[in-house]
Amino acid sequence: MRGSSDPRRDRVLAALLAIQRQSWEQGVTAHALLDLGRDREVVLLADAAVTRQHPDGRLGDVSGEDGAVNGAACGEAVRHAARVRPGERWTEALDRQLDWLLVRAPRADDGTLFHLLGNRQVWADSVYMVVPLLAVCGQPDQAAAQVKGHRRRLYDPATGLYAARWDEDRGRREHPQHWGTGNGWVVAGIARALRLLPRWPDGLRDGLARHARQVLDACLAHRRPDGLFHDVLDDPDSHVETNVAQMLAYAALTGATDGWLPPSYAGTGRDLLAAADRQVDPDGLVRPVSGAPDFTRPGTSAEAQAFHLLAHAALRRARLVAPAGDVSSAG
């Protein structure tokens, strides 16, 4: 990491760049490098995503992917490339991706986007894939509408947690378990959107912030004594999962820094990240996490590598804006 003397985080980055990536993993990798200030690498990641852009506008389309919204995670990098290296290649690619999201992607009658091309399912993951990009591209109403649609289908007020998937045709939660990473996608997605667009129409920002805090607090209630979580948050028989701690650390540190969470959440984020630091192996791999490629068993993943770096970038940002001593070192 540029400006870092921490060999552990350098190993995490090296391992991330060595991992084969799907479209959303390319996007989250770019988010991490954006937050670390590594502009040149972000442009290279954007270039690869545009090179593999599907004719319908989906960025980073790897042969065989059936994701309807995952490629949108690459949009932030393409927008950055357009700003630092102006050119039609970037602006046209971003316009095609936005047109896909706003007009042509498959969606429910109320406009809520479906996650895959092959069925009419709404997934918690989509909140992270589309909401930050819509926000940073000046579409706060659309961003908030996607949160609302996903919340209506997947959020369980009794537990404060999200189910993983909703089947629109059956009108029911297809995967009702409270998957930890799915809840992490929601909280981190809202946190990133609020960070990227500081000014929202009246009421939208406060409503999104309140909801993110509700879900964050509900997740934290299931934290293990070692600071980690189970893959299914409220199922102690599911495997231990590290990435949830990183995703929640990112959201907690970001929210405390940006002022929509109380300052005490910075300490929570620091502690979560310290727990994740202990899970980095000598090769720089964060484990165990919900593992690629099917995320049904413990393993490793590009998204977990990226969120380790995103959380550390959020910690660094918190230190820069907090009064001296308010945020101590993690790890």
Q: Do residues 167 and 154 touch, judged by C-beta distance below 8 A?
A: no
Check residue 64 and give its pLDDT: 72
Q: Would you kindly state where each structural domain of the chain is located, as residue ranges?
A: 7-311
Check residue 188 and give its pLDDT: 98
Q: Do residues 175 and 164 touch, judged by C-beta distance below 8 A?
A: yes
pLDDT surpasses 80 at 4: no
Please tell me the distance from the alpha carbon of residue 150 to that of residue 166, in angstroms, as a whole number: 9
pLDDT per residue over 64-91, tens digit each? 789 999 999 999 999 999 999 999 999 9
As a whole number, mean pLDDT of residues 140-155 equals 98
Strands, E, within the chain: which ranges?
121-123, 155-156, 161-162, 165-167, 172-175, 229-230, 240-241, 289-290, 298-299
pLDDT surpasses 70 at 329: no
- Pick the closest to residue 257 from 215, 306, 311 (CA basis): 311
pLDDT surpasses 70 at 3: no
Check residue 5 and give its pLDDT: 66
Burial profile 195-232: b = 16 or more Cβ within 10 angstroms, e = fewer: bbbeebeeebbeebbebbbbbbebbeebbeeebbbbbb
Q: Which amino acid is at 115?
A: H
Band of residue 331 on the pLDDT scale cut at 50, 70, 90: very low
As a whole number, mean pLDDT of residues 164-179 equals 96
pLDDT per residue over 243-253, tens digit each? 999 999 999 99
pLDDT per residue over 218-240, tens digit each? 999 999 999 999 999 999 999 99
Domain spanning 7-311, CATH architecture = Alpha/alpha barrel (1.50)
In the chain the first and final C-alpha atoms are separated, in Å, by 16
Band of residue 23 on the pLDDT scale cut at 50, 70, 90: very high
pLDDT surpasses 70 at 280: yes
Band of residue 202 on the pLDDT scale cut at 50, 70, 90: confident
Interacting residues of 331 by C-beta distance below 8 A, sequence separation 6+: 6, 8, 273, 274, 277, 278
As a whole number, mean pLDDT of residues 267-284 equals 98
What is the average pLDDT score of the chain?
Answer: 94
Q: Which two tokens stand for residue 198?
A: 């500081």
CB atoms within 10 A of CB 313: 22
Please tell me the distance from the alpha carbon of residue 58 to that of residue 73, in angstroms, as a whole number: 10
Q: Which amino acid is at 1?
A: M
As a whole number, mean pLDDT of residues 30-53 equals 97
Please tell me the distance from the alpha carbon of residue 212 to that of residue 205, in angstroms, as a whole number: 11
pLDDT per residue over 95-141, tens digit each? 999 999 999 999 999 999 999 999 999 999 999 999 999 999 999 99
Burial profile 30-66: b = 16 or more Cβ within 10 angstroms, e = fewer: bbbbbbbebbebbbebbbbbbebbbeebbbbbbeebe
- % of the chain with per-residue pLDDT over 70: 95
Please tell me the distance from the alpha carbon of residue 261 to that of residue 258, in angstroms, as a whole number: 8
Q: Which amino acid is at 136?
A: V
Check residue 330 and give its pLDDT: 41
pLDDT surpasses 50 at 146: yes
Interacting residues of 297 by C-beta distance below 8 A, sequence separation 6+: 239, 290, 291
As a whole number, mean pLDDT of residues 188-217 equals 96
Angle, in degrees to the nearest 10, between helices 39-51 and 23-35: 160
CB atoms within 10 A of CB 305: 31
pLDDT surpasses 50 at 161: yes
Check residue 6 and give its pLDDT: 86
List C-alpha distances in Å: 236 to 124, 224, 276, 292: 21, 9, 19, 21
Q: Which two tokens stand for residue 63?
A: 């042969």
As a whole number, mean pLDDT of residues 160-176 equals 96
pLDDT surpasses 90 at 299: yes
Q: Do residues 62 and 108 touch, judged by C-beta distance below 8 A?
A: no
